[in-house]
Amino acid sequence: MSALAFILLALLLVGPVPALLARAKWPLRAPRAAVVLWQAIAVAAVLSAFSAGIAIASRLFVPGPDGRPTTITGELAVLGLPLWALHVTVLALTLLVGARLIVAGIRVAVATRRRRSRHRMLVDLVSVAPSADTAPACAHSHEIRVLEANEPLAYCLPGVRSRVVVTKGTLSRLSDGELTAILSHERAHLRARHDLVLEAFTAVHAAFPRFVRSGSALYAVRLLIELLADDAALRSAGPAPLARALVTCASGRAPAGALAAGGPTTVVRVRRLAGRPNSALLAATAYLAAAAVLVLPTIAVALPWLTELRRLFGV
């Protein structure tokens, strides 16, 4: 029963729940709480998948005459070869999913940092420092780099040696207030380390098979991350300068591994600036839902199973 409950919970958290949440409109008014809810769903889905596999495979290690768990072949005669092979296969698949998750996390982290390091080196080589005459809002900022390009573009490179990169086209097209908004947006990404949240979701997305995973969750989290940075810029410059700055930089394409102010989500974000403000009630509800997603399945399903394991291994 524990294995069946874990399987059903994992299927819900991988399929219908993310699909419904990705189509919902309320996260636009509670982006921070929505990110927490997405994180809770992802963690609960992974834990449920692991728990389902381990709950099934635990039948291979029932107590022997001495009260100790038997070896993996000890239940072959009891279960029969077909059922025993099924349990061994489930155990192997569970371990494989865990290994894929670890490998995907390492690959995403290494590849992302390698790209950022290479691009940071190129930016430092070809960029110029902002001057007080051309960009007062950028002056005396050691992390800002200006590229000789006419395309309006602004993005950041997170990390230990972070950079905020703007082009000459951005400086020439944006007013001081708009430039302040766009810089506040990028600095919010760096300050809150939004890149780490995206890395975690990217690793989970890469670890699961294609017929299971969905790009809607990754897209939704990327949008929410941009909304969080927009909220920080909104407090610094106001909605009108931010909206104009986003529209100006909308067509700019940032390199892989960077977080850009523009992009395909610009229309949604600009419309949001003219809509209703963030809702504390929606945020509180989302936080409660996130806690329920993690806590309630643990109380209802995991605790009885952990009690059985404690009895089995004499812990």
> Which pLDDT tens digit goes with each residue over 28-81?
999 999 999 999 998 888 888 777 777 776 666 665 555 555 565 655 555 666
* pLDDT tens sequence across 258-310: 888 887 889 999 999 988 899 999 999 999 999 998 887 777 666 656 665 66
Q: How confident is the model at residue 211 (pLDDT cuts 50, 70, 90)?
A: low
Percent of the chain with pLDDT over 90: 31
pLDDT at 186: 92
Q: How far apart are CA 178 and CA 107, in angstroms?
A: 37
DSSP secondary structure letter of residue 69: B
Q: How far apart are CA 211 and CA 76, in angstroms?
A: 32
Closest by CA to 44, choosing from 224, 295, 251, 227, is 295
On average, the pLDDT of the chain sits at 82
pLDDT at 262: 80
Q: How far apart are CA 298 and CA 49, in angstroms?
A: 13
Distances (CA, A) of 150 to 137, 182, 184, 252: 19, 17, 22, 11
Q: How far apart are CA 86 and CA 259, in angstroms?
A: 45
The length of the chain in residues reads 315
pLDDT exceeds cutoff 80 at 82: no
* pLDDT tens sequence across 132-157: 665 666 666 778 888 888 889 999 99
* pLDDT tens sequence across 168-195: 888 889 988 999 999 999 999 999 999 9
Q: How many CB atoms lie within 10 A of CB 70?
A: 16
**Where exactly are the structural domains of the chain?**
127-278
Residue 166, H or E segment: strand 163-167
Q: Could you give the angle at which helices 266-273 and 239-248 cross, rounded to 10 degrees?
A: 160
What is residue 71's three-state secondary structure? coil
